[in-house]
Structure 1
Amino acid sequence: MRLRKKWWARPELEKSTAFISEAKSMKGKWQEEFKNSNDIYLELGCGRGGFVSKAALKYPDKNFVAVDLKDEVLIYVLKKIQEEELENIRITAMNIMGISEVFDKGEVKRIYINFCNPWPKDRHKKRRLTHTKFLSYYKEFIEKGTEIWFKTDDDELFEESLDYFRESGFALKYLTRDLQSEDFKENIVTEYEAKFKAEGVKIKFLVAELIEPKE
């Protein structure tokens, strides 16, 4: 979906302490930013913040960093943060290709990837957030035992992602091709998930654990 440019979005974001304008300057300093030692969970491609705002409410003892590319999207996340008075979320605008420069080794304890772009054309597949290329970026800062939670409606993306994870040293701890039929109590329904569920589309979901960290 193409978003209309909102020139006022960045100034509005920068008024809030929840927005991190220079994420790379925070490397190794995230617990200091949150003023506690709680685990940090990272959402890559947070969209309008439906998931991360619900997660932050459900897990007040966790800290959340939500990343998306566009200010025009993050302004909606900020609105949710302000409405719910959430202190345990920070948001930042950046290209996820640079994510390894944002966190120190072990700073992130879990990664969420929800309904990312499936990039179906062969020449574009390396842009997938689950591709081995991106998994290598994540391995720069996550440790053995760190989990990636991945959810999608796209069959091809899901099946090919299974190979990406295995090739990159991850074990599949949980896997379902029909999340709605499962009793997965920790599931948080995203905006896209609710839409697809109403249309009868089956949601694919997995939890992958890193067992072979980057040497």
Structure 2
Amino acid sequence: MRQRNKPWADDFLQEHRELVIANPKENKGKWQELFGNDNPIHLEIGTGKGQFIVGMAEQYPSINFIGIEMAKSIIVDAAIKIKESELKNLVLINVNANELEELFAENEISTIYLNFSDPWPKSRHEKRRLSYHTFLTKYEKLLPENSNLVMKTDNRLLFEYSLVSFSKHGLQLEEVSLDLHQLDDPTNVKTEYEEKFSSKGQPIYRCHVKINLTH
């Protein structure tokens, strides 16, 4: 989906560096210092317009949240939500997920969320999927043993591919739901896409994966 250009996005990001961190690589290994506490850090890769991560930060004030979003025209929407909510436990980064190892030190992240990631359905684009084995290797470097990776999607083929990819990589599947909203999980925070698709009766898939570094 083509995103509408926002000519004011650059100016907004420059004015709100406390929301969208300007030089994030300088904080590698020091993200807790930026938040001013030693609370665990949860990372969402592909934050979109920010509904999920803002909702999570509101629900869990004792956890620090970082959202990664590559598109400037989208991340500004998430930044506006943070500004309006006045949250202090959430910041954003405008980078590509390929740069994870340059952004975070080993074991610096406690949980990773992959919400409605681009499915990249063509075989030649497999390496771009966020559940491809090279990305899983990156996640393992950031996450300590027994930490969690949580994935939600409306795309059945991506979900099935990801389950196989997780298993082949030696990760432990803790929960697999083929229709998340039938679970009536009170802790589930919906993304914008999730609300859109579930309102049409489309099932939402979710899995919790445990990082097991001893495999």
- Structure 1 residue 178 corresponds to structure 2 residue 172: no
What residue identity is the alignment partner of 1:55? M
**1:191-206 maps to which residues of 2 (within 5 A)?**
191-206=192-207
Contact 1:146/1:209 (CA < 8 Å) preserved in 2? yes
Distance 1:213 1:18 in 2: 37
* Structure 2 residue matching 1:202: 3-state secondary structure: coil
The corresponding residue for 2:48 is 47
The corresponding residue for 2:57 is 56
Could you list the runs of 4 or more consecutive aligned residues of structure 1 that deviate by over 6 angstroms after TM superposition?
none
**1:141-180 maps to which residues of 2 (within 5 A)?**
141-180=142-181
Distance 2:163 2:129 in 1: 13
- Structure 1 residue 114 corresponds to structure 2 residue 142: no
Contact 2:148/2:210 (CA < 8 Å) preserved in 1? yes
* Cα distance, 1:187 vs structure 2: 1.0
What residue identity is the alignment partner of 1:191? E
- Structure 1 residue 76 corresponds to structure 2 residue 99: no
The corresponding residue for 1:139 is 140
Contact 1:139/1:213 (CA < 8 Å) preserved in 2? no
The corresponding residue for 2:104 is 103
* Structure 1 residue matching 2:21: 3-state secondary structure: coil
TM-superposition CA deviations, 1:50-104 (whole Å, max 9, x none) = 1011111001111000001011111101110011111111101111011111111
What residue identity is the alignment partner of 2:7? W
Q: TM-score, normalised by structure 1?
A: 0.96
Contact 1:153/1:196 (CA < 8 Å) preserved in 2? yes
What residue identity is the alignment partner of 1:208? V
Distance 2:152 2:80 in 1: 24
Aligned residues: percent identity?
Answer: 37
Q: TM-score, normalised by structure 2?
A: 0.96
Contact 1:151/1:206 (CA < 8 Å) preserved in 2? yes
The corresponding residue for 1:12 is 12
Distance 1:42 1:157 in 2: 21
Distance 1:130 1:175 in 2: 15
Distance 1:213 1:188, change over 3 A: farther
* Cα distance, 1:10 vs structure 2: 2.0
What residue identity is the alignment partner of 1:181? Q
Structure 2, unpaired ranges of 5+: none
User: Cα RMSD between the aligned structures?
Assistant: 1.3
* Cα distance, 1:213 vs structure 2: 5.9
Contact 2:107/2:141 (CA < 8 Å) preserved in 1? no
Distance 1:146 1:58 in 2: 20
* Structure 2 residue matching 1:164: 3-state secondary structure: helix
* Cα distance, 1:125 vs structure 2: 1.4
Contact 2:19/2:83 (CA < 8 Å) preserved in 1? no
TM-superposition CA deviations, 1:170-197 (whole Å, max 9, x none) = 1011111010111333211111111111
